[in-house]
Chains A and B, each alone.
Chain A
Amino acid sequence: MRAFVYDRPDAVDEAVASVAADPQAAFLAGGTTQLDLMKDGVWTPDRLVDISRLPLRGILVESQQLKVGALTTMEQLAAEPVVAQRLTFVREALLAGATVQLRNMATIGGNLLQRTRCRYFRDPTVAACNRRSPDSGCAAVDGVARMHAVLGVDERCIALHASDVAVPLLAVEASVLVSGPSGQRRIPLSEFWVRADEGPSIENVLGHGDLITEIDVPLLPQGWRSGYLKVRDRASYEFALTSAAVAVQMDGDMIADIRIGLGGVGSVPWRAREAEEMLRGTHVDPVRFEQAGRATMASAFTVPGTAFKVDLAVRTLSRQLITMTEATR
């Protein structure tokens, strides 16, 4: 691991100033992705600014939304009773991710910023990685691909964003509050991540020194139902091959309103807006569920190792739609 200076400021503005002043500095929060990447030599900051003691931990429950401090751990958010009641798919996605040990360390802000698990990205001896080194190529496109993306990607990069909880957070239209060198701003998650096919080396819209301080999560209105289905190679402690986060408001056997997010398929957490539009105001119909899934996956870019994900994503979404709409009848 490359040597670094360790710094632990007491306040958000100090932390921001400390990172902003040094191009080789970075924030350190839960560390579960960061230390791993540093050991692998993929990420080599000269200065780590430890933000884990800043007062950004905890959940404020308001009538229409949660204000989640960016340093709140995954376990802490999963344990919040309002999350279980009004954001069931957020709780299910949290508990389907990683392990208790990692969820006790990993923060919600860090989860949104996690780096791709692409093994070529994480191996610095692999030269071809457009995400690490612009214009160097992509080893995964011609290599062993399975845990890779099929939406928002092209031949330059098929890196997957592997977060579970980001999928329902995107579907429920959460936003992040950011403190940076030029002040505070709010960024909706729908505008937060940058797709690999829009620039493989840029992962999100944050600039150097920008720090997520809070995630604001709208509560689903009363009467909505939500759930998260994750399909994976082993039953626990495994990333999604495909996943579906669905929230519905039913009116009899009609879908009055719906939100859909897909995981395991995109270079960014994926909102399935086409599917939502096809299903809103329609009666429960598994054939239509499949058509909505097909429409979402129509733009997929696949390589031999990821071609299976198109059908699997359609079936994952269909099954979750059946579960979510049956439960209310």
Chain B
Amino acid sequence: MKTTRSTAPAPTAQDEYTVDVFTVVNGAPVQWRVDTRTTLLEALRDSSGLTGTKRGCDQGACGACTVHVDGARVVSCLMLAAQVDGRQVTTVEGLIDEEGRLHPLQEAFVRHDAFQCGFCTPGQLMSAVCLLREGRAGSDAEIREYMSGNLCRCGAYDNIVAAVREAAGGGA
């Protein structure tokens, strides 16, 4: 469900450098009272304790902090927490289903050993979930192009591509 400006309460700051943010994270309503400078990444990790979202470069270059805002993948380090007021945020913690089972893509990552140190993995997963929805898993080249916003310094790319391909129904 998309929440529009008309139903979202405006932030009511306690002082001019503080902002109140009302949002929904992984289906649950959340309120943050944060410094205006707080990024979405910082609010998720430090205010909500959702540390699955990783801080890599903190400048939009590595993709480790990828989350979904209203269903679209974004890098949370380049978005202010205030900008998700009234919006829906999904993090890697939100990929499991109601019974606590892993997302099929997570299963595929495990099966294909699609990581070494694992630091980039939450961002890789959040990006790849959108890639599948966007219908951009037509070939290995297409998967690589549409995963190019997620760097893996261990170099697990071949296995990541294999996991995404399998999750897309293209076989192992």
Partner-B contacts on A (CB < 8 A): 1, 3-6, 8, 10, 28, 31-32, 35-36, 38-39, 48, 50, 52-53, 75, 98-102, 104-105, 235-237
- Whether, in the assembled complex, B134 has its beta carbon less than 8 Å from a beta carbon of chain A, the answer is yes
With A35-B39, A99-B149 as given contacts, are A105 and B78 in contact (CB-CB < 8 Å)?
A: yes
Cβ–Cβ < 8 Å partners of B85 in chain A:
8
Interface contact B60-A6, CB-CB below 8 Å: no
Flag if B148 contacts A1 (CB, 8 Å): no
CB contact under 8 A between A6 and B63, given known A99-B149, A100-B73, A104-B72? no
Stretch at the interface among B10-18, B24-32, B46-54: B10-18
Q: Complex: how many Å from CA A28 to CA B80?
A: 10
B59 adjacent to chain A (CB < 8 Å): yes
What's the Cα separation between A36 and B85 when bound, in Å? 21
Least CB distance from B77 to A in Å reads 8
Q: Is B74 an interface residue (CB 8 A)?
A: yes
Neighbouring B residues of A99 by C-beta, 8 Å:
63, 148-149
Question: Interface size of B by Cβ–Cβ distance < 8 Å?
Answer: 36
Q: Is the CB of A4 within 8 A of B17?
A: yes
Interface SS of chain B: helix, strand, loop or mixed? mixed
B5 near A53 with CB under 8 A, answer yes
* Cβ A36 vs Cβ B59 within 8 A: yes
A31-B79 contact, Cβ under 8 Å, with A6-B11, A99-B149, A101-B127: yes
Given contacts A36-B78, A75-B72, A102-B75, 20 further A-B contacts (CB under 8 A): A3-B37, A4-B37, A5-B16, A6-B13, A6-B36, A8-B82, A28-B83, A31-B79, A35-B39, A50-B83, A52-B83, A53-B5, A99-B148, A99-B149, A100-B131, A100-B134, A101-B63, A104-B74, A105-B75, A237-B148
What residues on B are CB-neighbors of A10 within 8 Å?
Answer: 5
Residues of chain B whose beta carbon lies under 8 Å from any beta carbon of chain A: 5, 10-11, 13, 16-17, 19, 35-37, 39, 58-60, 63, 66, 72-75, 77-80, 82-83, 85, 127, 130-131, 134, 144-146, 148-149
Contacts of A75 in B (CB 8 A): 72
Say yes or no: B63 contacts A236, CB within 8 Å: no
Report how far A28 CA is from B19 CA in the complex, Å. Answer: 16
Query: With A and B bound together, what is the CA distance between A182 and B99 in angstroms?
Result: 58
Residues of B within 8 A of A39 (CB): 58-59
**CA A53 – CA B4 in complex, angstroms?**
9
Can you report 26 residue pairs joining A to B where beta carbons are below 8 Å apart? A3-B17, A3-B36, A3-B37, A5-B17, A5-B36, A6-B19, A8-B11, A8-B82, A28-B83, A32-B60, A32-B78, A35-B77, A35-B78, A36-B60, A36-B78, A99-B63, A99-B148, A100-B127, A101-B63, A101-B66, A101-B73, A101-B149, A102-B60, A102-B78, A102-B149, A235-B148
- Give the residues in chain A near B145, CB-CB below 8 Å: 235-236
A4 cross-chain contacts in B, Cβ below 8 A: 17, 36-37
For B149, give its contact among A3, A38, A100 (CB under 8 Å): A100
